[in-house]
Chains A and B, each alone.
Chain A
Amino acid sequence: MRRSSIRALAVPGVLVLLVVLVALAAPILPLADPVRQDVANRLSGPSAGHWLGQDEYGRDVLSRIIWGARVSLTVAAVAAALAAIVGTLLGILGGYFRGLVELVTVRVAEIVLCFPPLLLALLVVTLLGPGAGTLVFSLAILFAPGFARVAYAETLSARALDYVTAQQALGARTRRILFLTLLPNIAPPLIVQFSLTVAAAMVLESGLSFLGLGVVPPSPSWGLMIRGARASMEQAPLLLFWPCLALTGTVLVLNLLCDRLRDVLDPRGKAAGRPGFLGRLIALPPAPAPRQAPGLLTVDGLTLSVPGPKGPIEVVRDVGFTLAPGETLAIVGESGSGKTLTGLTVMGLLPAAVKPVAGSILFTGRDGRVRDLLRLPEPEMRSLRGRDLAMIFQDPSSSLNPLLRIGSQLAETLRAHGVRNGVRDRVIGLLRQVGLPDPERAADAYPHEISGGQRQRVMIAAAIANGPRLLLADEPTTALDVTVQAQILALLADLKRAEGGMGMAFVTHNLAVVGEIADRVLVMYAGEVVEEGPVADVFAAPRHPYTAALIASMPEGDAERLTAIPGAVPQPWAMPAGCRFAPRCTLAAEACRATAPALTEVAPGRSSRCLRWKEVA
């Protein structure tokens, strides 16, 4: 367990321990008898003999609070333990054997969840009569299904894991698998559920006792004390205060412990950080006014970093490229190469954790002005987004809001950039332009009513709605069927021809697509540009071993056999000191491992980040 987890658990843990210890120590503490009455001194205030005063029968309040903690904690803990044992057993059996066993264990247990909890507890009390035993029994029935559910869900996901299947294959006995292998692995969420249940059981126990249907007087119980003190509220309001404080305080520390436990044991549910877009998407401090930029987009020295356990990690380093009007640039690389982050930086849509630390992105807008997008304030950036700059994302099914009609999502794009009249007609026109068969019907459809390829057409329609200068496409065909992929690529090519002067940056890991659509290609590896040049030249004669290896691994290539690239992209926090590709490179020499090569021009319009580029076949 990490030190931060221990610190998070320390405060509530110590407090819970304190409550438990005091309750356990009740018999050895020098306390007055909690049930001895002293009617002569009823309702008297705090005194040396009775620190918290005396109740309506003259009994010592402090003593009753501490003894009450014993009763409440015992009932809650025993009930929770019973529920945990029964519920976990049902859940594990149901999740492991499935089928009929699941029906008679988990599903039957869930019937209990269909009734309001207090109602069910009252039903049990009707059948068995009030008392501590009834309380434990009814609370256990109430809370067992919760454990069954958690254990069932966890067992379902754990039983398919390798270590369980391995044991089955080895012929281990089922009992052994269930209790020695499975149970320890599903324990963390069950521990959280247990602390949650103890707190809930305490609340229910005190509630029933408060109604007079729980713990039987004269046993001290916090619920009963509150019930009793209500009658003498006017004369002795403090009498009401103490048990309320004890009960609330105990439940509070239990809940706090439970929240912390959940964060430590089950980090999945931990709240995400601050959402990215509400503040600004990070603008760098202003720099000297941009000089006249060549072309449409000039990215220079772009470096992005994310916070890591040992200081910031550079996930994109010193990336630069230019894009001329009307040109299509393909940005190619494996997952983790930084190609998508580069695209998102241009749009100003980086996740909150990723920060640009250096570089500039000069963009020539429709008005002819040159802006540095890395330093543009958010309101100006927003007016460019969806108008001068547009982006198409990878998965069209998650890029559209499922709850709004397609036409309405296109219309809002037009309205956001000042279109007021004839919005509906323009929406229909856009849908027709991207080749949707029945544009009127499509405009009134919800996203789930059309196919994946058609959804991507809608996303393209939204992107070109305001006549962008630059279209960024982030793997727009990856999530689609192969036949649909070709149609979408053809559509993008058509649109670019129609919108003369629109530049396109096409992020992909698919080299076959690059050959079809792009003029120039930028190859990225581990956050760096490794090669850049015209598509035909790069394909014919790559000047970086990584590019060469990518081409060799293309199924459509002419190579007689496919070559896989050995190894994997290094993790961002464990980058090699020299060339980042050296560990996987067949040409790597001593010099490659010692010094990081710079991007050098190898021919007019072509560059490579390789010391031995001349030797690349």
Chain B
Amino acid sequence: MLAFAARRLLVSLGLVWVVASLVFLVIHLIPGDPAELLLSQGGIAPDPAAVEELRERLGLNEPLWTQYLTYMGGLLRGDFGLSLQDEHPIAEEIALRLPRTLELVGMAGLLSVIFGVPLGIAAAMRAGGALDRILSAWAGFALSVPVFVVGTLAVLVLAQQLKLVSAGGYVPLARDPGRHLALLMMPAATIAVGLGAVVFRVMRSSVLEVLEREHVRAAQARGLAPAAIIRRHVLRNALTPVVTVVALHLGSLLGGTVLVEFVFNWPGLSGYLVRAVEARDYPEVLGIVLVISTLFVLLNFLVDLLYAVIDPRVRHG
């Protein structure tokens, strides 16, 4: 098990290096000069002197491999460079905002699993029955509502009309834990509407598929009670695809909470990204992309470990 984890970790670290190099290449190999692009707001050609000054400041006039070494060296020290807009260290801003996004994504995933898994099992148990039909229809609907529509309507109904919750915002955990959680729940639940429907669907079809397997019939032939069959021979086997799907979605949520953070004024990483994109602040955009992609790789590493815990065959594979 330990050897397996070490092997996977090495592969993951290699992937992180590849991602970092790719990000470096994207900034330098795309057609067009980043400095020129940054300065040409609104289609007006920028002043050549200003472009030259910016190129010098960003180190773009150095040979490519020197730039690469400087860049990688910076990354190793946790240095992502300075923002072009306010010269603020990018790493500091990311370190401040990343935990908030992770917290949001984690809570959304937790809510989705808490609701999606048991309901998926319940629906599969009575496939074709009334409960299954209602839940499946609901899931089809929940999957069709864009997340920012859910969020906006939630704000409209729950906050504006009924005045049950506040419309959004952020309070640090240390200052007021209760209020912090309350403010977290709205965006997290908004994401969980769609994600929970995904988890529900995958869990349902996975349970149905495992129920058809030979070993379930063999367990039945040994006289096991239905509850024991479900617990020991269906659930664990059915969980693997759910782990994959949840991990994939959490991964894309790392960069995909943009809309929800925007709706609820949640000051996470995505809001920072939108601001960076609007201002075309290259160092910022690339720093954020790098962090998110790295997290994506690490998430896959964790999923691999989780597989190994669920399925003994993986450990030896």
Contacts and interface: CB of A to CB of B under 8 A. Distances in A.
B217 A240 contact: no
Nearest to A269: B205
Interface string A398-421: 111111100001001100110000
Nearest to A277: B220
A383 B141 CA distance: 43
Contacts of B233: 401, 404
Interface in B254-277: 254-256, 258-259, 262, 273-274, 276-277
A353 to B, nearest CB: 12
B85 interface: no
B127 A273 contact: yes
A207 B259 contact: yes
Contacts of B316: 448-449
A233 B155 contact: yes
A240 to B, nearest CB: 6
A211 B258 contact: yes
A252 interface: yes
B146 A275 contact: no
Contacts of A390: 221-222
Contact of B278 (A207, A213, A387, A449): A213
A271 interface: yes
A482 interface: no
Contacts of A391: 218, 221
Interface residues of B, number: 74
A396 to B, nearest CB: 9
Interface string B45-78: 0000000000000000000000000000000000
A49 to B, nearest CB: 26
B125 interface: yes
B225 A118 contact: no
Interface string A234-256: 10010011001001100110111
Highest count of chain A CB atoms <10 Å: which of B127, B148, B155: B148
B274 A122 contact: yes
Given A277-B226, A386-B224, A416-B223, A247 B255 contact: no
Contacts of A271: 127, 205, 208
A122 B273 contact: yes
Interface stretch (B6-14, B89-97, B306-314): B306-314
Nearest to B233: A401
Interface stretch (B109-117, B169-177, B183-191, B289-297): B289-297
A402 B240 CA distance: 13
Highest count of chain B CB atoms <10 Å: which of A259, A399, A401, A412: A401
Contacts of B252: 116-119
A387 B223 contact: yes
B255 A115 contact: yes
Contacts of A234: 160
B30 interface: yes
B145 A399 contact: no
Contact of A386 (B128, B148, B221): B221
B296 A401 contact: no
Given A116-B296, A398-B215, A403-B236, A126 B224 contact: no
Contacts of A448: 312-313, 316
A347 B274 contact: no
A382 interface: yes
B155 A385 contact: no
Given A116-B254, A116-B256, A401 B215 contact: yes
B192 interface: no
A115 B295 CA distance: 11
A398 B214 contact: yes
Contacts of B228: 412, 416
Contact of A230 (B126, B152, B219, B278): B152
B182 interface: no
B232 A118 contact: no
B229 to A, nearest CB: 8
Interface string A375-393: 0000000111111001101
Across the A-B interface, the 8 shortest Cβ-Cβ residue pairs: A386-B223, A119-B255, A116-B255, A386-B222, A398-B214, A252-B144, A116-B252, A385-B223
12 contacts: A118-B252, A118-B256, A199-B144, A206-B148, A233-B160, A240-B156, A382-B223, A385-B220, A399-B218, A400-B215, A403-B310, A466-B223
